[in-house]
Structures are given as C-alpha cells and as structure tokens.
Amino acid sequence: MRNKKPKTDCQGDVWGWTAPPPTPTYEYKLATCTGCRATVKVLQAAPPRCPKCIEVGDYVRSFDFPYQRDIDGPRACYVEGAVSAIVKAGESFVCPLSGTATSGFNSDRYVICATLAVFGGQARPGEGRYYFPPVNGTPTLFGNLTNHVERI
C-alpha cells in the first residue's frame, strides 16, 4: 500500500514514489556480555546514509548558479573536487597549502579542493584551489534552499 505523503530526505527534497530508501550498512561493535562479562563482537546496523547528503571525502560538483546545471557548452559554470571539510557558521578554515585562514562564514560551508574548474564552458586552472559553497539546505535571501552541490 502506498503512503499518502511522499517521504523526504534530510535536505527536504521529495523522493519519488519509485525511489528506494537508503540501504543500511553493517559494522561490528565490541560489547560486554551482561552475564559472563566477556567481550564479544556484535553486528550493528549503521544509520542509513541519505543519497543526497554530502560528507567529507565525497567527490562533488558545485554549480555557480541554481538555475543552470549545464556541464558542457558556453553556459557551463562549476567546480569539481573532493570535500575536504565542512565548516560551521562562525568558524574559520586554515588552508593546508598556504597557511592562510578564512574569516568566519555566516552559514555552514563545504570546503572543496578543486580538481576541475569550468567557467563559461572553458576549463580553467583550478587544481588545488579551495571553494566554499554553502551547505545544501541553507536558506537563501528569497526563501529558497540552496542545492548547488551534488555528489558525482
């Protein structure tokens, strides 16, 4: 039987009726037996990961404009790279290459170490540069939510 309300993921996007829920992964945890006090390995399900959530280590594409997601052609503007950190609002980030620190941001930000930068459809030098797009789900000035960064 279908649910009357579609499920939403942690970023607020609606999953379609055909989208499956995230598959849980399993890992072992050490636990102490309450009876004999022996230490045993227990199979524990890790919390499922939302398919749209972005974490440190993910390879992502960050688009410059919310309405433009071309990856080729003259209107393509994006950066690709690995997420090095997620900086909380008010914190600063120290670049490991230059040692310079950013000032505190007014919202949570991804720290992307770029491997490819494309502006106006042309690849530009961007390797090793850091970009700081807002975390998906951050409210914008006009009441929308940001969703410019996608895992690839």
Number of H helices, E strands in the chain: 0, 8
pLDDT of residue 4: 46
Sign of CA dihedral 11, 130, 152, 79: positive
**Angle ∠(12,14,20) on CA atoms, nearest 5:** 115
Q: What is the pLDDT of residues 113-145, one digit of tens each?
A: 889 999 888 998 777 788 889 998 888 888 888
Q: What is the pLDDT of residues 74-101, one digit of tens each?
A: 889 999 999 988 888 888 777 776 777 7
Tell me the pLDDT of the chain averaged across its residues. Answer: 75
Region 34-45 average pLDDT? 63
